[in-house]
Chain A
């Protein structure tokens, strides 16, 4: 099989794409000389159709991934912000459902969004939601899995993360804001002072979202890092002496955070 593009002599004649691509995301760039209007007029108007298709379709792609973020800011604000981001960080993969992982960090730096400090966390949660939506299918840990473990081995038990499971930590009530803005219903009052972390899972085909208090977040963080039940529980009790271990464990099993348990040391490549 031959690849003409790998032959330098052929590359010379195939530079149309470099010229054509140059101005697609740069409205100030001159239009490429290699194209023309069939009626002999300036091809600018026609080239601009491609420019417009590219930027509008990519803005639409971000709006589809971040609907709550758009609802909070309003479409005009969102589209202006998205346009800046796309020009700075256009997609590098043709899989658009994987685009926008850098968008929350961009929002954090975006000067017009400074008076909405929770906005980046909402975007982080939306991005994690879509990752969970497309994650690999795996059955979560069975409900009775822990009751079969001998009590003396429970403390050193470790867990294998489900492909969809994610934690998004926030100093704002990010789950409440997300829920209020992912439907068309009117947004009620949300107390801005409550810190909330989001647990995202997908035990079957529907993505599930739970708000966690700080102690439960620390507990799950430890387990997701590969720490033992004992270590995770100790960390959670350090955060709050009122940490409810039993109900947090049954919540994490029901949510489908893990797919399997294994004893002892962290087993790499498990």
Chain B
């Protein structure tokens, strides 16, 4: 089911090359389309899950084509299984390339995770140990994706709930080496940093200090939920079902102060609110990005990379 490059009218789609850098955007939910068009601000960007646009035709493509005429789009893959030990699914890779070619997205990203093993697709972002074997594995998969689609992808840090005994290096080091070997960029999910730190009992600030911020081309912000274990221990779940928490906003401000403005997405995937509420989160992120433009970078700060 190769995605066609043609619409019903059979004209090849050619979209404007809108820049995305320094803009705040939101997940695109088709139910918001009328409100987005009515408002007509044409400011910001939208991110979609690539898999939702891998059908042959119909309303999803109509809606995304309409959005893409007026806005830059970020294409976010959620099930390439880059972190899994099995060879990548070539059919899926071909479909992914089809969506990239069709919509000419400003950003393309995938997860440091796996979701398929043998013949089962688990529909979740599953974790992997960080060591030399998995480094080689993930790097070869990213090489394969980038060669296939003919462009760089951004790799997103996961949310963690447990640790692997076989891990021999910190996540930040793993991600840095992956980027060095493959030339991929990074998608920094600040909510995932916060959730993982709380669950693993590490420090989000230390993570950000070790993380190669100079390679980040997109940031994710999202809401999380809390779950208490029988022993009264608090676990955070990366649920994307509510507003961004105060602590995550604070971390975001710290990142932007160091890095300068970066395309920033509000992820909201379940219990999706009406458009004005989602849009308000993006406006809040945009205010921080705009302020970041004027922040004086301290001299000698390794992270104050001009962008």
Contact = CB atoms under 8 A, between A and B. Distances in A.
Interface in B13-70: 51-52, 54-62
Contact of A4 (B8, B120, B140, B199): B140
Contacts of A101: none
A163 interface: yes
Contact of B56 (A1, A13, A134): A134
A68 to B, nearest CB: 19
A97 B56 CA distance: 12
B56 A163 contact: yes
B162 interface: yes
A25 B85 contact: no
22 contacts: A1-B140, A4-B85, A5-B137, A16-B129, A16-B164, A17-B84, A17-B86, A21-B117, A37-B162, A38-B162, A38-B202, A49-B235, A50-B126, A92-B120, A94-B89, A95-B95, A133-B55, A134-B55, A134-B56, A134-B60, A137-B57, A205-B62
B192 interface: no
Contacts, number: 169
Interface string B251-266: 0000000000000000
B116 interface: yes
B140 A94 contact: no
A268 interface: no
Interface residues of A, number: 58
Contacts of A136: 4, 56-57
Interface residues of B, number: 64
A38 B163 contact: yes
Contacts of A2: 140
B106 to A, nearest CB: 24
Interface of B: 4, 7-8, 51-52, 54-62, 79, 81, 84-87, 89, 92, 95, 114-124, 126-129, 131, 133-134, 136-137, 140, 143-144, 147, 161-166, 199-202, 227, 229-231, 233, 235, 237
A36 B200 CA distance: 10
Contacts of B165: 33-36
Interface in A12-50: 13-18, 20-21, 24-25, 33-39, 41, 43, 45-47, 49-50
B34 to A, nearest CB: 14
Given A34-B165, A49-B235, A94 B116 contact: yes
